[in-house]
Amino acid sequence: MRSGSVFRSAQLGERNDTTMAQLEELGLDAVFDLRSDHEVSLLPDFVPDGVRLQQVDVLADSDERIAAQLEDLFTDPAGAAELLRSGAVQDHYSSTYRHLVSLPSAKSSYRALFSSLAEGQSVLFHCTAGKDRTGWAAASLQLLLGVALDDVFDHYLASNSETLELFGGILRAFEDAGGDTSALEPVFMVEAMYLESAIDEMTRSFGTIGGYFSNGLGLSTLQVAALKESLTE
C-alpha cells in the first residue's frame, strides 16, 4: 500500500499545539468522522484549517442497545464480571460487525469515504476508539487492495494496545471502584472473531470483496480501479 494517502485514528477531540501540528503534517484533504451525533456532541472533532470535515454515522440504522449497559459497567464491578461471563459483549460486537457490512447507513457512510479516496484525496477516518467502525474500513480497504489476509488480521489486532492506553483512565477508575481490570478490558479490545463476522457477512451477501465494493457500496468499476491505482505501488 502506498504511504501517506490514507490514515486511521481514534477521535480527534484533543486540542493542543502538538496534535494540531501532527495533523497539519499529514497534508489532509478530508477527515471522515464515523461516529453518531451523540458521540460528536460529547467531543467534537477539530481539524486544521482547509481540511474538510465530514461526519457519516455508520451505525445510524442500528437498534443495538447494549451501549448503555456497557457504560454502567464502568462503575459496577460485579455487573461487569457477570455480563462478560455471559458472552453478551462478544455477541454484541459480532452482531455489530455484521451491521458494519449490511446496514444501509454503514454502506452509505463507507461509500462516501471510499469515494473520496477514489478521487485521490488524502483522507483520515476515525470513530471513537478507532477499532471497530474504523477497523472494518481499514480491513475492507486492505482486502480490496490485495493485502494478505494474515496481514489484515495482524493490523486489525494491533489496535488493542493503543486502545487500552486510550481508555486507561476508565480502567483505573474501575479498579479504584473495586473491579478487576482484566474483566473490563475485553470491552475495549478487538478479537479476531469480530472481523471474521464481518468477512463472513460480506461473503454471504456479496460473494467477494470486489462484490462488496461494487454491489454493496455502489462504487463504480472506475472508482475501484482508481482506489487500486492510487493506493498501491
Among 16-25, 95-104, 191-200, the least confident range: 16-25
Say if strands 52-55 and 123-126 run parallel, antiparallel, or are unpaired: unpaired
Q: How many CA atoms lie less than 13 Å away from 215 in the CB half-sphere?
A: 11
Domain ranges of the chain: 6-227
Q: pLDDT digit string (tens) for 72-126?
A: 666 666 666 677 677 777 888 999 999 999 999 999 999 999 999 999 999 999 9
Q: How far apart are CA 207 and CA 204, in angstroms?
A: 6
| Sheet of strand 6-9: strand arrangement | 6-9, 123-126, 30-33, 52-55
Asked whether the predicted pLDDT for residue 57 surpasses 50, the reply is yes
The 10 Å Cβ neighbour count of residue 137 is: 25
Burial of 146 (0-12, 13-18, 19+ CB in 10 A): exposed
Q: pLDDT digit string (tens) for 209-231?
A: 999 999 999 999 999 999 999 99
Instruction: Write out the CATH class of domain 6-227.
Output: alpha beta
Q: How far apart are CA 65 and CA 57, in angstroms?
A: 16
What residues contact 194, with CB distance under 8 A and at least 6 apart?
Answer: 93, 94, 96, 97, 132, 135
Percent of the chain at pLDDT > 70 equals 91
- The reported pTM is 0.91
